Copies of this chain bind each other. A is one copy, B any other.
Amino acid sequence: MPSANVYNVTEWPVGNPLEDIGAVINSIIADIRRRQATADVNDAGKPGAVIYIPPGDFRLRTQVRIDISFLRIFGSGHGFTSSSIRFNTPANELQQWHEVWPGGSRVLVDLPAGIEKTDADRAAFLVERSGSPRISSVEFADFCIDGMHFSSETDDAENSYRNGKTGIHIASANDSFRITGMGIVYLEHGIVSHHADAATIDNNFIAECGSCVEFRGMGQASKVSNNLIGAGYHGYSIYAENFGGLLVAGNNVFPRGRSSIEFSGVARSSISGNRFHSFYPGMLVFSGSCSENLVSSNHFFRDREPWAPMLRYDNGLDDRFGLLHLNGNGNSVIANHISESIDVRFVKPTGEKPVIIRIASGSGNYVANNHIVATTEAVRSSDAPNSAAFATQVDAILATKNLTSLDVVAVLVDAQSSQNIVLDSGSDAQVLLDRAANAFRATPVIGQSEALGRN
């Protein structure tokens, strides 16, 4: 019976999903595999199955291991709430709180610890299969994966973004996966996918994780779109390596994130129509050699950390690194808005001008029609109470009035880079490059219009 392919973790006779949803799902997967064993005759396939996680708290003490295609695991609620605010709220206040944990269809990741374990071992959901074809069309939708606590051995464990836990780890080459509508919180790694082809990561809420989305190994033709994402101060909100044809579009990426997005060895990919907010330099990084990528129509905004518990942290980079730091050839940075708001007192090193777009190496890059707005920041209290974190942050973002202009290097092309074209992205004084080795047209300056507009 086809309806036999519909499972509910709370109705499965083996195991107790409240105590260990991992064991229950593995038992279900074993059942699917057993029942599908004789298929593939007469055009009939192995259709996989769907596993439902209703709203509820489901502890995961056994890793889920997925090695069948066409498996869909879904819930009825992404269940995000801020654990970061909660863990920075005094206990006496917490007693008055309506609730303190994420909710929805919530998987509590509680795997046994062990320093000998690999990253793959420490994932709540591990997808791995050898042989052919690549595992296809596994889907995760509309549930919550909660790491519950950060737990490094520092004096500030819950703000460490470290606990050795991963939400979804895809270890082998995969095709046409979909991760949609998920809530992923308080994990050191949210989603890690190796060798992805035609993956979709869309409309998720992945925040308060060390790193959020990581494409590793190599991959092609995938999409990270329409997500709300924000990593910790030593991780990536979005990371991809050795990838071709990745489309990162329509995401709202908020702090912190060592970088909002980093590409390493990525080619012919696109970062378009996103909104990025960061507290540190290096919010977009092209490392290794990244070539022929497009960065367009994005809004970048960097200001200074406004929230007391996190003031002690940053990503270690100084303001010469560049908000956008590029290595590689033939990239395009077109039609972006970039705002930086920081008081000159907080610029590092002291006395330097912050760099906005830096081409550190490579050639043939095209930087055109970017609007850079740099201001000193608004006066504000650095010790805003936690309970007002939301209003404090909004105020910080909205504080655009009566600011004075901050002197920056709009575009810096390092000496080892050449053959780049920089157009209308900064005045003559704001763009530092070797004019003999690159091409440059300055943004016209106020009052010089007549001469320019003569045609």
A27 at the A/B interface (Cβ < 8 Å)? no
A98 touches which one: B101, B132, B387, B401 (CB < 8 A)?
B132
Asked whether A97 and B226 contact (CB < 8 A) given A272-B297, A301-B292, the answer is no
| Listed A/B pairs (15) with beta-carbon separation below 8 Å | A2-B17, A2-B18, A46-B99, A47-B103, A80-B137, A97-B132, A98-B132, A222-B252, A265-B398, A267-B398, A268-B301, A268-B397, A273-B297, A330-B373, A335-B369
- Which B residues are CB-close (under 8 A) to A49? 55
CB of A244 within 8 A of CB of B394, answer yes
Give complex CA distance A433, B453 in Å: 12
Among A48, A135, A277, the most chain B Cβ lie within 10 Å of the Cβ of A48
Hey, what's the 0/1 contact readout for A419-454 against B, CB within 8 Å counting as 1?
A: 101011000100101011111111111111111111
CB of B77 within 8 A of CB of A48, answer yes
A447 touches which one: B132, B393, B437 (CB < 8 A)?
B437
> So how many copies of this chain end up in the complex?
3
Hey, what's the 0/1 contact readout for A91-109 against B, CB within 8 Å counting as 1?
A: 0010011111111111010
- Which B residues are CB-close (under 8 A) to A99? 39-40, 45-46, 69, 133
- Which B residues are CB-close (under 8 A) to A216? none
A282 at the A/B interface (Cβ < 8 Å)? no
Give complex CA distance A178, B44 in Å: 29
Asked whether A55 and B371 contact (CB < 8 A) given A72-B77, A252-B221, the answer is no
Among A225, A394, A452, the most chain B Cβ lie within 10 Å of the Cβ of A394
CB of A3 within 8 A of CB of B97, answer no
Give complex CA distance A45, B307 in Å: 26
Give complex CA distance A148, B42 in Å: 11
CB of B247 within 8 A of CB of A250, answer yes
CB of B332 within 8 A of CB of A371, answer yes
Closest to A299 in B: B270
- In order of increasing CB-CB distance, the 5 nearest A-B pairs are A244-B397, A45-B101, A2-B56, A70-B103, A440-B449
CB of B81 within 8 A of CB of A175, answer yes
A161 at the A/B interface (Cβ < 8 Å)? no
Give complex CA distance A141, B99 in Å: 23
* Nearest CB in chain B: distance from A271 CB, A: 9
A339 touches which one: B78, B139, B330 (CB < 8 A)?
B330
Among A248-297, those with CB < 8 Å from B are 249-252, 254, 265, 267-270, 272-275, 277, 289, 291-294, 296-297
- Which B residues are CB-close (under 8 A) to A433? 449
- Which B residues are CB-close (under 8 A) to A137? 77-81, 102-104, 183
Binds B, one of A163-171, A198-206, A309-317: A198-206
Among A83-97, those with CB < 8 Å from B are 85-86, 89, 93, 96-97
A48 touches which one: B79, B222, B391 (CB < 8 A)?
B79
Interface size class of A (residues with CB under 8 A): 35 or more
- Which B residues are CB-close (under 8 A) to A247? 250-252, 274-275, 299
- Which B residues are CB-close (under 8 A) to A329? 400
* Nearest CB in chain B: distance from A139 CB, A: 6
CB of B435 within 8 A of CB of A453, answer yes
A101 touches which one: B40, B139, B442 (CB < 8 A)?
B40
Among A18, A245, A246, the most chain B Cβ lie within 10 Å of the Cβ of A245
* Nearest CB in chain B: distance from A437 CB, A: 7
Hey, what's the 0/1 contact readout for A11-49 against B, CB within 8 Å counting as 1?
A: 100000110000000000000000000011001111111
* Nearest CB in chain B: distance from A159 CB, A: 17
A180 at the A/B interface (Cβ < 8 Å)? yes
CB of B428 within 8 A of CB of A444, answer no
Give complex CA distance A451, B252 in Å: 40
CB of B72 within 8 A of CB of A76, answer yes
CB of B452 within 8 A of CB of A294, answer no
- Which B residues are CB-close (under 8 A) to A63? none
* Nearest CB in chain B: distance from A226 CB, A: 6
A113 at the A/B interface (Cβ < 8 Å)? no
Hey, what's the 0/1 contact readout for A359-403 against B, CB within 8 Å counting as 1?
A: 000001010110101010000000000010011011011111100
A151 at the A/B interface (Cβ < 8 Å)? no
CB of A442 within 8 A of CB of B455, answer yes
